[in-house]
Amino acid sequence: MAVLAAILFISSGRLDWVMAWVFLGLYLAAIIIAFLIIAPTNPELMAERAEFRPRPGVENWDTVISTLFKLSFPVTLLISGLDKRFAWTKSLPRAVQILALVIGLLGYALIAWAVASNRFATVYVRIQQERGHTVATAGPYRFVRHPFYVGAITIALAMPLVLGSLWALISAAFGALLMTVKTALEDRTLQEGLDGYREYAQRVRHRLLPGIW
């Protein structure tokens, strides 16, 4: 959080950026709440997610895409800060920023729900034989096959609007594209290697957007 705050306030050259403080505060609160909900029931998963390093069985494409997506987050903050400093974007209505903030929080809630419903939801896709990997079908997995990535894409696209930067949507859209590619490749990996996933995919037809894809 200190690093994220430094990126925002150093790049913007100011500390009186209200929406940056609001963003940081709610982001921290969302992380703490999600941790308190998930950690007691699945501490092993939380520990592996916190490592953010690939374990044996992870494909190279997953390592590259996940790393690039992680980097797109601070880049979006950096562009937002520079936009604030040099006023590249005309002031967005506060209502738009608040709406984006609510949508972003809903995206984070979806991520927490997905992780709470899937004890195999690691950062990198792999068939977790040591944990007796099975298909997750409860919670948001009843509606789409990759709800975690729906939440991640939602947060990525909402964040620039919360911070009042249209230019930062460029890096956010790149992150969203990366997550879409990761979704397609991960889905293929699971269909090829995880017992029961093909049948699940026939029941839950859509990867990210119900009725679309």
Cβ-based neighbours of 17, under 8 Å, separated by 6 or more? 8, 9, 84
Domains contained in the chain, number: 1
Distance CA(186)–CA(157), nearest Å, equals 21
CATH number at residue 132: 1.20.120.1630
Q: Which of 83, 96, 110, 72 minimizes the C-alpha distance to 162?
A: 96
| Residue 212 forms part of a structural domain | no
In a domain? residue 38 = yes
Within a domain: 11? no
pLDDT value, residue 100: 97
The pLDDT value given to residue 200: 97
- State the DSSP code for 141: G
Residue 115 CA to residue 37 CA, distance in Å, equals: 10
Phi, psi of 107 (to 5 degrees): -65, -40
Domain span at residue 90 reads 20-203
pLDDT value at position 6? 97
In the block, which residue shows the tokens 């929080």? 105
Q: Whole-angstrom Cα distance, residue 167 to residue 20?
A: 16
Residue 110 near residue 177 (C-beta atoms within 8 A): no
Considering only CA atoms, which of 51, 47, 76, 213 is closest in space to residue 146?
A: 213
Residue 82 is predicted with a pLDDT of 98
In a domain, 13, yes or no: no
Query: Could you list the mean pLDDT of each consecutive 10-residue stretch along the chain, which spans 213 residues?
Result: 95 96 92 80 75 80 94 97 96 94 94 89 87 92 97 96 97 97 96 95 95 89
- Inside any domain, residue 4: no
